[in-house]
Structure 1
């Protein structure tokens, strides 16, 4: 704890190169470094920021504390890609080097305007008594890759009725007007989001609070994101302070969405359905979306959670980002599918078609630590069936369907090093279907499971031994037919 306090606001610029090199070397020796996910070169990664397409490339920034796996002084780190698969580390995008962001360049978004990419973010500042004051700031990225901050914040006050928990602007354009939603906390300590408008990104007008049917839903709404698909309005946010209900809201903090009519920008009203969790796994938070040149709505999330210790912490780093996902609406529900560009990672392909009857089976070539696996089960009369992966003599992670409960269950009780056990070792969701498709993206220390074409997703960190590589198919209390294909990465 003393180390964390001393290091929380240390600046990267004040640290010697020898210390930095030593930290990076320690990180590189970690057995749980990912192979195809975005991850920090050192320290802690959290919220994805500024996700956009500009000057012929995808740009993605993320929150970064470089000097250790703690939520300390935050920078924006910049990555870019031409294909959403191979990401190049550009380096630091924003430094907390002004009065207005002296204690961290917090989360935000971006938008192209007048041929330049404008980064809209929250500057976190604290006075000598460590009292927080947020500023909403802009920095501008030009076609040469240079980023310059505006000299003054564009929003320098918190409106009356809200606390200093006022952050994470998400900007978009509607007609000739720019709009931004900002996550906020009312003075009665309930969460909400507010709306601002601007004709030019420089002068911003407070329009008011967005009216929803969630007046008392947690104590803070982080990382709001509004967009539209097929004439529907979708509002994504990450509420803090939601108590578990059955299989819902099991993580320390949640991320989800409401879907309904388009946001009434004049009346500031969003008519919507129920709040739905975006991800049913253990480690998913603060997602951000963008619309790309192909017209797709793409999402990237933080594969981690605040206030949870992770097994990579002693190695000097924490967290990664999810693979990019394409969003669509089907049957009044948001679907998530891995972007097809990820198929370029595929190498050797192995197919299996079989029936398992009250047994657990392995197959030649079905093993590894980084791969894509697609498995479809049908003609099922088993009480339970599924897949064990990253499995060894003792360890295994299990995705299965329990026909008695009618639930898909992700079990990481034997996944390796423990993480977040105070919040349970299983995640469940009810699904009624005749066929089940499990589409897995497995990496050295994570899994993303898309169930039934992305109707549900389970995103989780796992920390098995490097020798736990087996993939096993099983059925209990009956039999199931399946066909599976695996691609090495």
Structure 2
């Protein structure tokens, strides 16, 4: 217990000392969740509890590299204004000494329960344990220790428990690697959140590890959302080092048969990984994702010079249409609109050039099915739509500093483009979230230029918290 509090105090000393420097970085966001200092990655424990949204996150406060992770914690009443809460978990026990890895939250008997993976490395031998921490007030958590150990047939790459309740039964899915070194998701069941019974493999088949699984229903379909590692690029697909996506189908719990379709990428941008969802009190399936990818040029981000690295996405609502997941920014984010800066009509040959704030939003309602679109942001990021090839292309300079890199998606028609910009990030939602591109943009902080050539109506807002 003394070590736990010592580590939390040490982390907060770093925050108090360095956060003022971090916030001065022109790349630091206005309305996205970012680390007060150090490195942020996976969103964890995402839940609405007693009317308040709680979001936890993987956090390394002492450096901008990965290591023995803490759980940071923020809360909100409105999904816009986030309050920093006391550190939830520190890597202080024998079962989590090398990191409190990802997990989830669930409400039970008026308490908030966190299930997470305890990471242990002894003489370079990895061990992993699924652990529990409990809180009565949603702010201070008491560790209850190991709940589940790795079953036979799986390696120590066994992590990221997601827990939910369905028909008076509790379920848990965990990302895993089997002894054949294949990525998998396994499941457990419990009557009381104390004793867990192993249910077997839910899904397997490609890659060498499946991280951060999430399992839920949308519009009558069972959705398995996960982040597989070990997929090679194939044309326009799987272009990041590691991927995130989903399969949709039907799970028969009695026979443990999960019949599903092909794997689909959830986001086509440069930086998106390890998302987690929750069902809120309004019945919405809401998602947060990490605006980063493991092992993908992380140490080339210029924010490291100011002592911080990575951020999370905006909260998004998920909707299933025709077997495809649409993502749209939650309705509450419209409250960030402070000033409407532009509203104008553009013809097919018109070129609009102007300046926009580095925290802004624009919507282009496209007119006509055969119009090309070209958008240039801050002399750094280009968005192109080719109406003949039916392709969308996002292009930016390579992190390495030579040449450009691109991400591409195919779509029959573009009717709307909505773009959320926040100093060093962009989230592009095509056709109300049919396709989404999430990416970091490290343009010259003094460049506010935007140009657009398209046929339609353009509206631009400045964004900021009230």
Evaluate the alpha carbon distance shift between residue 55 and residue 256 of structure 1 in structure 2; reply closer, same or farther with a 3 A threshold.
same
CA deviations over 1:13-39 (Å, ceiling 9, x no partner): 585987655433432332210000000
Evaluate the alpha carbon distance shift between residue 142 and residue 423 of structure 1 in structure 2; reply closer, same or farther with a 3 A threshold.
farther
1:61 pairs with one of 56, 59, 65: 56
1:347 pairs with one of 328, 332, 338: 338
Give 2:146's aligned residue.
153
1:49 aligned onto 2:37: no
Following superposition, the deviation at residue 169 of structure 1 comes to 0.3
1:456 pairs with one of 435, 444, 453: 435
Give 2:21's aligned residue.
26
Give 1:228's aligned residue.
217
On the 8 A contact 1:12/1:67 being kept in 2, the answer is no
**SS of the residue 1:270 aligns to:** strand
The correspondence of residues 387-466 of structure 1 with structure 2, limited to 5 A, is 387-389=375-377, 391=378, 395-413=379-397, 418-419=398-399, 425-433=405-413, 435-466=414-445
CA deviations over 1:276-314 (Å, ceiling 9, x no partner): 000000000000000000001001000011113222122
| Residue segments in structure 1 that go unaligned for 5+ positions in a row | 1-10, 475-479
On the 8 A contact 1:396/1:468 being kept in 2, the answer is no
**SS of the residue 2:358 aligns to:** coil
Following superposition, the deviation at residue 92 of structure 1 comes to 0.7
Give 2:321's aligned residue.
330
Following superposition, the deviation at residue 97 of structure 1 comes to 1.2
1:385 aligned onto 2:373: yes
More off after superposition, 172-181 vs 105-114: 172-181
The correspondence of residues 257-268 of structure 1 with structure 2, limited to 5 A, is 257-261=246-250, 263-268=251-256
Whole-Å separation in 2 of the counterparts to 1:487 and 1:45: 28
1:320 pairs with one of 293, 297, 311: 311
**SS of the residue 2:412 aligns to:** coil
CA deviations over 1:234-257 (Å, ceiling 9, x no partner): 000000010011100000100000
On the 8 A contact 2:373/2:384 being kept in 1, the answer is yes
1:255 aligned onto 2:244: yes
2:157 pairs with one of 139, 161, 165: 165
Evaluate the alpha carbon distance shift between residue 227 and residue 470 of structure 1 in structure 2; reply closer, same or farther with a 3 A threshold.
same
**SS of the residue 1:312 aligns to:** helix
Whole-Å separation in 2 of the counterparts to 1:113 and 1:443: 37
Give 2:460's aligned residue.
486
Q: Please give the TM-score of this superposition, normalised by the length of structure 1.
A: 0.89
2:360 pairs with one of 371, 379, 386: 371
Whole-Å separation in 1 of the counterparts to 2:433 and 2:11: 46
1:295 aligned onto 2:283: yes
**SS of the residue 1:314 aligns to:** helix
Evaluate the alpha carbon distance shift between residue 18 and residue 456 of structure 1 in structure 2; reply closer, same or farther with a 3 A threshold.
closer
1:137 pairs with one of 131, 142, 153: 131
Give 2:177's aligned residue.
185
Alpha-carbon RMSD: 2.0
On the 8 A contact 1:107/1:122 being kept in 2, the answer is yes
Give 2:199's aligned residue.
207
| Residue segments in structure 2 that go unaligned for 5+ positions in a row | 1-5
Following superposition, the deviation at residue 420 of structure 1 comes to 6.4
Evaluate the alpha carbon distance shift between residue 69 and residue 38 of structure 1 in structure 2; reply closer, same or farther with a 3 A threshold.
same
CA deviations over 1:431-489 (Å, ceiling 9, x no partner): 111x4311000001000000011000000001111111122112xxxxx4210111111
Q: Please give the TM-score of this superposition, normalised by the length of structure 2.
A: 0.93
Whole-Å separation in 1 of the counterparts to 2:353 and 2:83: 37
**SS of the residue 2:19 aligns to:** helix
